[in-house]
């Protein structure tokens, strides 16, 4: 089941500026969904539509098959990219205020806040003014505020910007824990390594259109290059001659007594056939598939799309 379905969403600013062009997206319940795309692609606008900050010109977004309505706001937690806090207000007071705006009662909000503050070891910040905290500390508070009302859908827009590695790790842990508990998480980011670590589904938006979407597994399969990295000791020249035109050597270099070679399989040959060819020629010490990184996929997809347009 999908927690969110966007169907044919259009959004324009003014008469001439198309921001979202016929967006169809489905976000499976319980997934960590990566919403990727270059700056200005329309990600934030799409997220704002989900949060009902703005409405689509055409099309409809469904939350668990119901058209999005104000009642859903309390089931969504949103950490915007442009996020901040009242500088002069005390941390505890502020967290309480924002939690109550999300529909929690004062009593519940207080109880949950205490729990989170203890969990993250930040109890002593309760009475401090926000301006006394570092940026990273403020981010922690913002994270707590976002998840406090235990929403079933969480949206993080560039959550790692401004975090040091230690806090970023903590954030990843917390996100995975929330997923374990059954929350669905939408993740908008440029940080591709975190996408690889966390996401199981992605959609790539470029120039107001969805150009790529699906599960990570499927996308990786689609973007397979059929290239393999070999670690080889033996007669390289002979090997190079042996590999017929069914193979393409993409890269090759020697380091100490080992030869490192990247080979691409052509004509649907299997890896076993390649290994058979190699075994008589020397000693094969390493063999692994070259998996396209999300970074490569991202750049590849965006460049192709831009060329097509």
Partner 1 sequence: MKTSIILQREYSTRVKKKSFVIMTILAPLLMAGFIIGYSYLIMAEETEERLIGIIDDSMIMHESLQNTDAIKFELIDSKGDENIKELYDQSNYHAILFIPENITISNTVKLFSESQPSQAITSHIKTSIENYLEDQRLIQEGISRELISSLKVRLNLDSIKWGSDGSVSVNTTSTAMIVGYLGGFLIYFFIFLYGVQVMRGIIEEKTNRIVEVIISSVKPFQLMMGKIFGIALVGLTQFIAWVVLIAGFSFIGLTYFSPSHDAADLTPAPVTQDIMASNPAGEAIEAAGLNMANPDMIQMIMNELANINFVTVLLLFLFFFIGGYLLYASLFASIGAAVDSETDTQQFMMPVTLPLVLGIMVMINAIQNPDGNIAFWFSMIPFTSPIVMMVRIPFGVPVWELSLSMALLILTFIVTTWLASKIYRTGILMYGKKVSYKELWKWIKYSR
Q: Point out which residues bind partner 1 (CB under 8 A).
A: 13-14, 48, 51, 53-55, 57, 70, 73, 76, 78-80, 82-89, 97-98, 100-103, 142, 145
Q: Of 153 and 263, which CB lies nearer to partner 1 in the complex structure?
A: 153
Instruction: Tell the smallest beta-carbon distance from residue 126 to partner 1 (Å).
Output: 17
Classify 303 as helix, strand or coil: helix
Angle at 245 between CA 244 and CA 251, to 5 degrees: 90
Residue 247 in tokens: 């193979």
Instruction: Tell the smallest beta-carbon distance from residue 43 to partner 1 (Å).
Output: 14
**Distance between CA atoms of residues 300 and 143, nearest Å:** 33
Q: Of 25 and 98, which CB lies nearer to partner 1 in the complex structure?
A: 98
The neighbour count for residue 209, using CB atoms within 10 Å, is 17
Instruction: Tell the smallest beta-carbon distance from residue 145 to partner 1 (Å).
Output: 7
Contacts of 214 (CB under 8 A, 6+ apart): 201, 202, 222
**Distance between CA atoms of residues 175 and 181, nearest Å:** 10
User: Scanning the structure block, which residue is given the tokens 């927690």?
Assistant: 3
Instruction: Tell the smallest beta-carbon distance from residue 224 to partner 1 (Å).
Output: 39
Q: Of 48 and 258, which CB lies nearer to partner 1 in the complex structure?
A: 48
Instruction: Tell the smallest beta-carbon distance from residue 108 to partner 1 (Å).
Output: 14
The neighbour count for residue 56, using CB atoms within 10 Å, is 21
CB 168 within 8 A of CB 136: no
Q: Of 92 and 216, which CB lies nearer to partner 1 in the complex structure?
A: 92
**Distance between CA atoms of residues 286 and 90, nearest Å:** 58
Element (H, E) at 176: helix 165-180
Instruction: Tell the smallest beta-carbon distance from residue 138 to partner 1 (Å).
Output: 10
Q: Of 76 and 178, which CB lies nearer to partner 1 in the complex structure?
A: 76
Q: Of 78 and 232, which CB lies nearer to partner 1 in the complex structure?
A: 78
**Distance between CA atoms of residues 97 and 82, nearest Å:** 19
Instruction: Tell the smallest beta-carbon distance from residue 48 to partner 1 (Å).
Output: 8
Q: Which residues of 213-245 are buried (b: 16+ CB within 10 A; e: fewer)?
A: beebeebbeebeeebbebebebeeeebeeebee
Alpha helices in 14-90 (DSSP H): 43-50
Instruction: Tell the smallest beta-carbon distance from residue 165 to partner 1 (Å).
Output: 23
CB 144 within 8 A of CB 120: yes
Q: Of 178 and 263, which CB lies nearer to partner 1 in the complex structure?
A: 178
Q: Of 13 and 65, which CB lies nearer to partner 1 in the complex structure?
A: 13
């Amino acid at each position: 089941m999908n927690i969110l379905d966007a169907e044919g969403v259009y959004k324009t600013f003014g008469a001439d500026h198309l921001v979202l062009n016929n967006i169809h997206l489905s976000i499976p319940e319980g997934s960590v969904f990566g919403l990727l795309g270059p700056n200005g692609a329309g990600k934030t606008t799409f997220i704002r539509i989900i949060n009902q900050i703005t409405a689509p010109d055409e099309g409809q977004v469904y939350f668990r098959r119901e058209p999005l309505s104000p009642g859903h706001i309390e089931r969504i937690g949103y950490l915007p990219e442009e996020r901040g806090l009242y500088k002069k207000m005390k941390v505890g007071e502020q967290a309480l205020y924002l939690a109550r705006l999300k529909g929690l009662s004062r009593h519940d909000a207080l109880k949950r806040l205490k729990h989170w503050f203890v969990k993250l070891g930040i109890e002593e910040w309760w009475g401090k003014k926000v301006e006394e905290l570092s940026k990273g500390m403020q981010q922690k508070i913002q994270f707590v505020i976002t998840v406090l009302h235990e929403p079933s859908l969480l949206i993080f827009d560039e959550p790692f910007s401004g975090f040091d590695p230690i806090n970023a790790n903590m954030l990843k842990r917390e996100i995975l824990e929330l997923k374990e508990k059954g929350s669905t998480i939408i993740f908008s980011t440029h940080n591709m390594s975190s996408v690889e670590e966390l996401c199981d589904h992605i959609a790539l938006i470029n120039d107001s259109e969805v150009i790529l979407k699906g599960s990570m597994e499927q996308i990786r399969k689609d973007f397979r290059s059929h290239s393999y990295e070999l670690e080889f000791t033996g007669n390289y020249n002979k090997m190079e001659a042996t590999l017929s035109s069914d193979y393409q050597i993409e890269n090759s270099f020697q380091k100490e007594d080992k030869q490192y070679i990247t080979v691409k399989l052509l004509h649907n040959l299997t890896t076993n056939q390649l290994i058979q060819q190699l075994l008589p020629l020397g000693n094969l010490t390493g063999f692994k598939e070259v998996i396209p990184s999300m970074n490569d996929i991202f750049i590849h997809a965006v460049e192709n799309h831009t060329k097509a347009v």
